[in-house]
Amino acid sequence: MRNLYKLFGFAKIITNRGVLEENINKANLVDKNLGDYVLLHKARKDIYDRTYTNLELIGKLRTGLDISNTEYWNENKYRDFNPEFVVNSSKKYSKIKIQKRDFGFKYLRDNLMDLFVVMSFVAIVLAAYFQDDADSTVVPYVKHSKLMHVTSKKLNLRSEPSVKSKVIRTLKQYQNITRLNEVVDSNWVYVKTTDNHSGYVSTKYVIDGDGHEAYISSCRKDGITRPANGYVLSKKYKGPHRLVVNNSPGADALIKLKDDNKNTVLEYYIRSGQTVTINDIPEGQYQFLFASGSDYSANCNRFLTNMQASKDPKPTPYITKRSSNSVSYSIQTYTLQRVRNGNFQAQKINTSEF
């Protein structure tokens, strides 16, 4: 395994994402893509850091025992996790002297700490080996975390660990699942969904970590932008009615109108402290929803930072009224801040419902 931290100019594991991104962005395209994929993805970075720590320990042990300077280990590509061999002058021995030394009490005394470290490492390895042997159904791939998420666009949750078994339901990309105790083999893992459906999924299309965090990270890679005030993101129909929205200072917002089937009829962007008037709302009854936040992603159509969503719980009618000598159309006005004697009580909703 390559030492990616060394590749990007670090001597140890870095937890500061900003510092990581700065150095990764200075690298060539191939190395940058590798750094983005491994170190800027939370779940993959956690796995890499654990492996890094183990390889660093093994490298120190190999160097301390002088078994990293063999004819099969001298190439640089094998030495990423091996520090240079240094003679410890306080013990007053070198590679040659150790070979000539009498294995007596003084030698054991001088090297007791090294012996203890080696024996401890061997004990850990043997314990892990016998633990896995005692419970052969456990797969190391899914030991790291109970929380996992789906990486493919669609994934079948099956009743048995076989592609021929019944499909219980279809999971979506980034959907969170919980790993249960029963793990069949390296190809299948037994999981439970957030709505309590249990079954088997292929380990090829799931990974450790929170799906929402992975989704936000993916959106951020596509870039952020700030549309113009009143920019229409989607509109299905046109009509004679009017909608006026006054946004409070502090945060930009997304505005939506949804019909009775929860289909979005209109969506537009409004900047903080601004007003937008839409003059062609179609006839019908619509629910008013709004979401505020910062770092808007056009590809994901959401705010990536501090996004909060609310709705007017009561649908509002947009109806044309006709009399013998006149026609009138609906004008609805919303102010996105608390005011005395306001005409609606906003109800907070999950951002996934927006």
Q: Which domains does the chain have, with CATH numbers?
A: 4-133 (no CATH), 140-216 (2.30.30.40), 232-353 (2.60.40)
Lowest mean pLDDT among 4-13, 163-172, 200-209: 4-13
- CA–chain centroid gap for 120, Å, is 35
> In the predicted model, is pLDDT for residue 65 greater than 60?
yes
Q: What is the pLDDT of residue 76?
A: 53
Give mean pLDDT, residues 297-309. Answer: 94
The alpha carbon torsion through 195, 196, 199, 204 (nearest 10 deg) reads 50
How many CB atoms lie under 10 A from the CB of residue 228? 7
Closest CA to 243 of 340, 344, 317: 317
With a pLDDT cut of 90, the percent of the chain lying above it is 49
Give mean pLDDT, residues 229-238. Answer: 93
CA distance 340 to 174: 41
Q: At what angle do helices 29-39 and 42-64 cross, to 10 degrees?
A: 100
CA distance 283 to 19: 53
Lowest mean pLDDT among 58-62, 172-176, 224-228: 58-62
CA distance 291 to 69: 61
Q: What is the pLDDT of residue 51?
A: 87
Q: What is the pLDDT of residue 278?
A: 94
The residue with greater pLDDT, 7 or 131, is 7
Q: Are 269 and 299 in contact (CB under 8 A)?
A: no
The residue with greater pLDDT, 153 or 125, is 153
Give mean pLDDT, residues 120-133. Answer: 44
| 14 to 28, 40, 47, 49, 60: CA distances (angstroms) | 20, 11, 14, 9, 20
CA distance 34 to 3: 12
Give mean pLDDT, residues 4-10. Answer: 87
The residue with greater pLDDT, 192 or 61, is 192
57-89: b (≥16 Cβ within 10 Å) or e: eebbbbbbeeebeeeeeeeeeebbbbeeeeeee
Give mean pLDDT, residues 33-43. Answer: 85
Handedness of CA 264, 266, 269, 274 (dihedral sign): negative
> In the predicted model, is pLDDT for residue 189 greater than 70?
yes
Q: What is the pLDDT of residue 132?
A: 34
Give mean pLDDT, residues 296-304. Answer: 94
Q: What are the pLDDT digits (tens) for 15-30?
A: 888 888 888 888 887 7
Over the chain, what is the mean pLDDT?
A: 80
